[in-house]
Structure 1
Amino acid sequence: MENALSSTGDIELDHAVNQWLRFDKNHLTVELVRSLVSEGAVGELRKCFGSRMEFGTAGLRAAMGPGTACMNELTIIQTTQGFCSYLEQCFGAVLKKRGVVVGYDARFHPPSGGSSKQFARLAAAVFTSRGVPVHLFGDITPTPFVPFTVSHLGLCAGIMVTASHNPKQDNGYKVYWENGSQIVPPHDQGISAAIEANLEPWPESWNTDGLSGCPLLKDPYEETHTHYYKTIQQHCHYRDINKRSEVKIVHTSVHGVGHSFIQSAFKAFDLQPPYAVEEQKDPDPEFPTVKYPNPEEGKGVLTLSFALAEKVGASLVLANDPDADRLAIAEKQSGGQWRVFSGNELGALLGWWVYRCWKLTNPELSAVKSVYMLASTVSSKILRALALKEGFHFEETLTGFKWMGNRARELLDQNKTVLFAFEEAIGYMCSSAVLDKDGVSAAAIAGEMSSYLATKNTTLSQQLTAIYEEYGYHISKNSYFICHDQEVIQALFQRLRHYGNEDQDQVSYPSECGRFTITAVRDLTTGYDSTQKDKKAVLPTSTSSQMITFTFSNGGVATMRTSGTEPKIKYYTELCAAPGNSLVDLLKQELDDLVSAIVENFFQPTKNKLLPKPE
């Protein structure tokens, strides 16, 4: 071993590989590493062992394969040992009374033998070896069922093994705290430190055979299934209309877990079952019919759905991502073309609908004072406009449902009502029973909304226009560039912090972008906010991710940030107009010009090293 790597002079790499071969009991990943060593493939070994997956507030997400930089059986064990140890520190003996829940999707990676189910079983084995009760789902499950189970059963934590909408080679490890929401700092740092302190597998951590007949192991599938649908039925307000509805809906689970759960959700609402896209109905870790298993990408993922809709005469298409926590919707227009709603547009529709339904059962004027809606800072401000006119509260959080979920929990603990939360990346929380995005309940609620609107001879598109005309047009345009080089990403954002100034010690943000004047800057990486007296941002900051927001004199807002789970630099822009503004086309042109200026001035210096969003 030492001879194979002696030419590199990399002692740390040598140590990491040797330690791996000593710890790993998966013969497939062991043989993959041994082959790389025998071939002298130092470059590949560095990719696998040059770093350890960083445990953040989104947990872990990486490609499946051998090594510390990948998702595999050993890194799952090490991660779970760290998580278990951290929970023991936080909860003490209570952990052995309350326990945890573990769920998984249908991902599988034959070369390394990695599968979500096996990863989940190994996680369960780690916890039961320490005397901790584990509620391990006996079959694939949507991600929102895990936080629901944490809250419903009063557990200490939850784990969901999924990579959501990432490419097929990826997998992930998503963590929920006792409050039913994803973890936020400082838990991520605490878990990371505990992982590093527990790298050597514990004696029983590999023993998944010991799960058979283990008294500490339970399957929550039936109980969760029953109580989840009973809970979301509370958000069904038009059962008679649903039963009579002639709206035809197509649904695709995009080769993920969603099919049977969406069918059950529609049944819970007495809606006619949606037509399933047969080629994409059953879980398939190869995702054979799509380039990217992400309905956020739009029409390219929905081709088969449109074809089925044309065949059966359906006017609406619903699409979940593979772990069913997100929802996309497309509607057939009068001219025969399909309109895929953006995440912000669906946020407007669902927010309006959820508030309207709440108002039906809460007509007293004073009740609205305890109502809240939430949205991430890069999402449309349409909910703010609704709140201002209707009298409820709107709050903005950092990007990611971990922030909205935790804030929702705080508000609920204060006896407030949290009706709705959303992020522009097609994530919606339509019920506070799940403090995370939930594509299952959102699909049923969207189905009821469309059925009700049909009785008024109104489409979703027409209703969206009505919302904008009442509360003000909110025109947004979001996209991203792909970049795998962290140095390029760092250079791009550092340039914005030292704009027109070669002195890297002196901060100077741009004051204009093309013909557009910048009136305010907020940098949530450094904690700077030009609108505050002390220039310090109110929202939490994080040095581990990049995020800068620019406000323009024309009322436009643009945010540039890095993704926490994908190699992307994302940008989000929005222009708002007062209710009744008829100059929509001018607004759209102004926003197009603003986006062009941002790409030209802020991205251009590094654009040759960036890949555009795929068509």
Structure 2
Amino acid sequence: MEEPPGDVNSNLLIRKSTGDPKLDTAVWQWLQWDRNPKTKAQIESLLHDGRTKELRERLCCRMSFGTAGLRSAMGAGFSHINDLTVIQTTQGMYLYLERCFPDAMQRGVVVGYDTRGQATSNCSSKRLAKLTAAVLLSKGIPVYLFSKYVPTPFVPYAVRKLRTIAGVMITASHNRKEDNGYKVYWENGAQITSPHDKEILKCVDESSEPWDDSWRENLAESSPLVKDPLENITNSYMQDLSSICFNRELNMKTPLKFVHTSFHGVGHDFVQSAFTVFGFRPPIPVPEQKDPDPNFSTVKCPNPEEGECVLELSLRLAEAEGARMVLATDPDADRLAVAELQDTGRWKVFTGNELAALLGWWLFFCWKKNCPKGSDVEDVYMLATTVSSVILRAVAAKEGFHFEETLPGFKWIGNRVKTLLDNGKTVLFAFEESIGFMCGTQVLDKDGVSAAAVVAEMAAYLDTNGTSLMQQLIKIYERYGYHIAKTSYFLCYDPATIKRIFERLRNYGSPKKYPEFCGPYGVLHVRDVTTGYDSSQLNKKCVLPVSKNSQMITFTFQNGCVATLRTSGTEPKIKYYAEMCGSPGQCDKSFLEEELRRVIDVLVENFLEPSKNGLTWRSA
């Protein structure tokens, strides 16, 4: 192979063949294409030290779009988030957008970013956003680049409000501090699904060498094609937020106090403003976590879903301030955790499924009170991902509205909601169990800012009736049936082990046979959306779309328990989700809880075999 031009040191290193022609080519490409001295030096060092295995992991595979876009560790390599891979992805996106939109040069693209990466880092979200903008600007595409970090929901909101052809958000949400990500939204304001994700990656392969102008980061500041949408979009978002505020006068009078933590991320200013829109006094911020900190220095992991152990500062501040409610937005403010002080003096941290039951009840209650005359409940919809609780299905069955399930990930919810809206339907609420909530349809994605304000209003209303969130949740279960759900995960960093676990379940005892029993529990139905199989259907085919790029198998047991095993789209996890559903009026909650615990125990031991497979159970 002809040696490409380059600096002397790089060419000397390249001559040190790894013995793998494919890897040698990838090393050559990286050292010639990467203009970031830090990430270039990382590859040079690995090559010099003969660390072939790590070189192969970094350079011989490319990231693919998962449930929340591209996510990976920041650092050198085609499998990581860095200047070069962001440039390549944006070049591929530009080529695909150019084919899809003849008016691309008139409509433009929205670009936003969170606060990940040190301000001086070559992998900070702000820098990656500027490089994203530079690629598009160099080809004459107008860019609406936020001048400041924003919540992730602001990008899909801006795409629809500004009628652009797409949007990009640089974020890794609640992932560890070492990670970053690249989320793409289509012109409809929803995250991209197939075929757009696959076509973008095809275009990346067609034009993987960076164009010279793609590295001109200063274009983001000097090009006449750049506009800053921050003030316009913030004002518009807050104005539209008022459409899901139902009792501002009551909110203004409530004696309730709220504590809010933004988890070292972007949420503080925006949640403060949302509370003002709803008529509340601003929530009390957690001072140590109010301002952005890419090191997430006060928490072991920046994920409020982990519960009380990572909400410690919030809970102690609430106790000191006499506040009964704690609201926590994750670092990019698209998800919301809620804790409530109980009469026992203990805190109740609600699961995503429990909050969804409350929010679904509340938004339907408000719709019934405020809907225009002649509105038909038959046109009302709520949605959830298929690994989330089906409590809203029970509510819908009793109240007359529609409930639908989608594949995991808000990209599926967002696109389905847009279709329903285009057909004249009313969508009140959608959720995923991992504390992601869509209240109303101003944003076709999960939104922690709006959810925080809606939860506060619900709490204020209930307080006027002497009722807490927990007490209302019990009333919901008593009316619609107890839905006891449990979700957790195991860490697994070896893709081969993950594949072996799921292939064993597809060939359980004999080829192409799924398990008929799990310990003492008989399996009634099996659905495998990875392969498209569903034993409950006459044609044995899934109703949900096939998702070959991820692992997900759902077991319905003869005792009524439904359990799903799936891999995370953003982290090295095997997750399990299980739920037992009671009938309305049945109050034997303890039986459902005990039966669920037993099923999970045998499910984990028989199907995941954690000891044998070296899996590590979640540790907060």
TM-score (norm 2): 0.96
Q: Residues of 2 paired with 1:30 and 1:515: CA distance?
A: 56
Contact 1:57/1:188, CA 8 A, preserved across alignment = no
Q: Residues of 2 paired with 1:468 and 1:551: CA distance?
A: 22
Q: CA deviation at 1:353?
A: 0.5
Q: Residues of 2 paired with 1:482 and 1:28: CA distance?
A: 30
Q: CA deviation at 1:288?
A: 0.4
Q: Give the gaps of 5 or more residues in structure 1.
A: none
Q: Residues of 2 paired with 1:120 and 1:454: CA distance?
A: 43
1:230 counterpart = 2:235: no
Contact 2:92/2:202, CA 8 A, preserved across alignment = yes
More off after superposition, 319-328 vs 103-112: 103-112
Please show how residues 347-358 of structure 1 align to structure 2 within 5 Å.
347-358=356-367
Q: Residues of 1 paired with 2:307 and 2:24: CA distance?
A: 45
Contact 1:549/1:557, CA 8 A, preserved across alignment = yes
SS at match of 1:108: coil
Q: CA deviation at 1:204?
A: 1.0
Q: Residues of 2 paired with 1:209 and 1:86: CA distance?
A: 24
1:508 counterpart = 2:517: no
Q: Residues of 1 paired with 2:368 and 2:281: CA distance?
A: 26
SS at match of 2:235: helix
Contact 1:72/1:112, CA 8 A, preserved across alignment = no
Q: Residues of 2 paired with 1:39 and 1:613: CA distance?
A: 34
1:536 counterpart = 2:546: no
1:181 counterpart residue number: 190
Contact 2:352/2:435, CA 8 A, preserved across alignment = yes
Q: Residues of 1 paired with 2:127 and 2:137: CA distance?
A: 15
Contact 1:51/1:69, CA 8 A, preserved across alignment = yes
SS at match of 2:214: coil
Q: Residues of 2 paired with 1:256 and 1:222: CA distance?
A: 19
SS at match of 1:261: helix
Amino acid across the alignment from 2:516 = S
Q: Residues of 2 paired with 1:263 and 1:473: CA distance?
A: 35
Q: CA deviation at 1:495?
A: 1.0
Flag the 1:511–1:246 CA change in 2: closer, same or farther, 3 A. same
Q: CA deviation at 1:300?
A: 1.4
Contact 1:61/1:163, CA 8 A, preserved across alignment = yes
2:339 counterpart residue number: 330
SS at match of 2:140: coil
SS at match of 1:204: helix
Q: Residues of 2 paired with 1:210 and 1:346: CA distance?
A: 44
Per-residue displacement from partner, 1:405-437 (whole Å, max 9, x unpaired)? 000000000011011000000000002110000
Q: CA deviation at 1:510?
A: 0.9
Q: Residues of 1 paired with 2:205 and 2:17: CA distance?
A: 28
Amino acid across the alignment from 2:47 = V
SS at match of 2:333: coil
1:609 counterpart = 2:618: no
1:555 counterpart residue number: 560
SS at match of 1:86: helix
Amino acid across the alignment from 1:593 = R
Contact 1:248/1:314, CA 8 A, preserved across alignment = yes
2:5 counterpart residue number: none
SS at match of 1:205: helix
| Residue number among 569, 572, 579 corresponding to 2:574 in the alignment | 569
Amino acid across the alignment from 2:325 = L
Contact 2:115/2:294, CA 8 A, preserved across alignment = yes
Q: Residues of 2 paired with 1:57 and 1:470: CA distance?
A: 34
2:80 counterpart residue number: 70
SS at match of 2:176: coil
1:521 counterpart residue number: 526
1:43 counterpart residue number: 53
| Residue number among 22, 32, 43 corresponding to 1:12 in the alignment | 22
Flag the 1:365–1:515 CA change in 2: closer, same or farther, 3 A. farther
1:169 counterpart residue number: 178
2:6 counterpart residue number: none
Q: Residues of 2 paired with 1:275 and 1:485: CA distance?
A: 43
Q: Residues of 2 paired with 1:195 and 1:458: CA distance?
A: 55
Per-residue displacement from partner, 1:109-140 (whole Å, max 9, x unpaired)? 58962100000000101101111110000000
2:435 counterpart residue number: 426
1:493 counterpart = 2:498: no
Q: Residues of 1 paired with 2:393 and 2:340: CA distance?
A: 26
Contact 2:387/2:564, CA 8 A, preserved across alignment = yes
| Residue number among 306, 315, 325 corresponding to 1:316 in the alignment | 325
Amino acid across the alignment from 2:520 = R
| Residue number among 67, 73, 82 corresponding to 2:92 in the alignment | 82
Q: CA deviation at 1:606?
A: 5.8
Contact 1:29/1:112, CA 8 A, preserved across alignment = no
Q: Residues of 1 paired with 2:281 and 2:537: CA distance?
A: 52
Amino acid across the alignment from 1:96 = M
Contact 1:373/1:421, CA 8 A, preserved across alignment = yes
2:8 counterpart residue number: none
Per-residue displacement from partner, 1:195-214 (whole Å, max 9, x unpaired)? 11111111211112233332
Number of equivalenced pairs: 610
Per-residue displacement from partner, 1:284-308 (whole Å, max 9, x unpaired)? 0000011110001111110000110
1:158 counterpart = 2:163: no
SS at match of 1:273: coil
| Residue number among 196, 211, 220 corresponding to 1:202 in the alignment | 211
Q: Residues of 1 paired with 2:51 and 2:498: CA distance?
A: 28
1:143 counterpart = 2:152: yes
More off after superposition, 207-216 vs 147-156: 207-216
Contact 2:128/2:170, CA 8 A, preserved across alignment = yes
Amino acid across the alignment from 2:185 = Y
SS at match of 1:192: helix
1:386 counterpart residue number: 395
Q: CA deviation at 1:55?
A: 3.5
Contact 1:245/1:272, CA 8 A, preserved across alignment = no
Contact 2:378/2:400, CA 8 A, preserved across alignment = yes
SS at match of 2:555: strand
Flag the 1:605–1:128 CA change in 2: closer, same or farther, 3 A. closer
Per-residue displacement from partner, 1:531-557 (whole Å, max 9, x unpaired)? 111111111011111111111111110
Q: CA deviation at 1:41?
A: 3.0
Q: CA deviation at 1:359?
A: 0.8
Q: Residues of 2 paired with 1:404 and 1:519: CA distance?
A: 28
Per-residue displacement from partner, 1:132-185 (whole Å, max 9, x unpaired)? 110000000000000000011111000000000000010000000000000010
SS at match of 1:208: coil
Contact 1:232/1:431, CA 8 A, preserved across alignment = no
Per-residue displacement from partner, 1:221-263 (whole Å, max 9, x unpaired)? 0010001011110111111110011111111011000000000
Q: CA deviation at 1:6?
A: 4.5
Q: Residues of 2 paired with 1:612 and 1:508: CA distance?
A: 28
SS at match of 1:174: strand
Q: Residues of 2 paired with 1:341 and 1:607: CA distance?
A: 33
1:28 counterpart = 2:38: yes
Q: Residues of 2 paired with 1:25 and 1:429: CA distance?
A: 40
Two-structure CA RMSD over aligned residues (Å) = 1.5
Contact 2:14/2:24, CA 8 A, preserved across alignment = no
Percentage identity across paired residues of the two chains: 57
SS at match of 2:466: coil
Amino acid across the alignment from 1:523 = D
Q: CA deviation at 1:45?
A: 2.2
Q: CA deviation at 1:25?
A: 1.4
Flag the 1:533–1:207 CA change in 2: closer, same or farther, 3 A. same
Q: CA deviation at 1:32?
A: 2.4
Q: Residues of 1 paired with 2:505 and 2:195: CA distance?
A: 28
1:439 counterpart = 2:448: yes
Contact 1:482/1:613, CA 8 A, preserved across alignment = yes
